[in-house]
């Protein structure tokens, strides 16, 4: 997929995403940025590493800003502290040109992403197969479910 086609696809996903999906996309984007920062570090690409670390930090800033601290209570506060910690580790990785803080941040992001996927799965209504509806069809005209077909 070309870069512009990929960007258009991602833009479409973002514009059509619900809030839960947006957070998942932010986790994914941040994880991808940290992976690219690690690759750039390993290849000695200083400017590229700097850009990817900045992108990951910007995404974490967005995540911090999106927290609803009133409704989220203690969980929101803990997430804010964790995001802040990850930002400090990214800065440390950049200043020391070290992979270990990047690896730690990536591990945290992967864990958060997996947890968030679980939240998303619980928030979705269950899918009912059409065959399940057919099994519930009324056998006689006097049943309560027969009224649905009127």
Q: State pTM to two decimals.
A: 0.73
Domain encompassing residue 106: 3-149
Q: What is the pLDDT of residue 11?
A: 53
Angle at the Cα of 129 (from 124 to 135), degrees rounded to 5?
135
- Count how many domains the chain has: 1
- What DSSP letter does each residue of 91-102 carry, written as one string? HHHHHHT-SHHH
Instruction: Give which of 53, 39, 44, 43 is closest to 105, Cα–Cα.
Output: 53
Q: What is the CATH number of the domain that holds 136?
A: 1.20.120.340
pLDDT in tens, 96-125: 999 999 999 999 999 999 998 888 778 776
Could you read off the pLDDT tens digit of each residue along the chain, which spans 150 residues?
556 665 565 555 555 556 788 888 899 999 999 999 999 999 999 999 999 999 999 999 999 998 999 998 999 999 999 999 999 999 999 999 999 999 999 999 999 999 988 887 787 765 555 555 445 555 545 544 444 444
Could you tell me if 31 and 110 are in contact, meaning their C-beta atoms sit under 8 angstroms apart? yes
Q: What is the pLDDT of residue 86?
A: 98
In terms of DSSP H, where are the helices of the chain? 3-16, 19-42, 46-66, 69-96, 100-123, 130-135
Residue in this structure with the two tokens 């864990």, named with its chain if needed: 111
């Amino acid at each position: 997929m070309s870069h512009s086609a990929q960007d258009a696809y991602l833009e479409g996903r973002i514009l059509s995403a619900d809030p839960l999906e947006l957070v998942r996309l932010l986790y994914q984007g941040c994880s991808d940025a940290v992976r690219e920062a690690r690759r750039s570090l390993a290849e000695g690409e200083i400017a590229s590493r700097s850009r990817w670390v900045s992108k990951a930090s910007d995404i974490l800033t967005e995540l911090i800003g999106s927290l609803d601290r009133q409704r989220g209570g203690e969980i929101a506060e803990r997430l804010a502290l964790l995001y802040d910690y990850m930002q400090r580790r990214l800065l440390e990785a950049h200043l020391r040109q070290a992979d270990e803080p990047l690896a730690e941040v990536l591990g945290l992001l992967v864990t958060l992403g997996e947890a968030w996927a679980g939240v998303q799965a619980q928030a979705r209504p269950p899918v009912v197969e059409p065959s399940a509806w057919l099994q519930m069809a009324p056998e006689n005209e006097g049943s309560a479910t027969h009224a649905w077909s009127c």
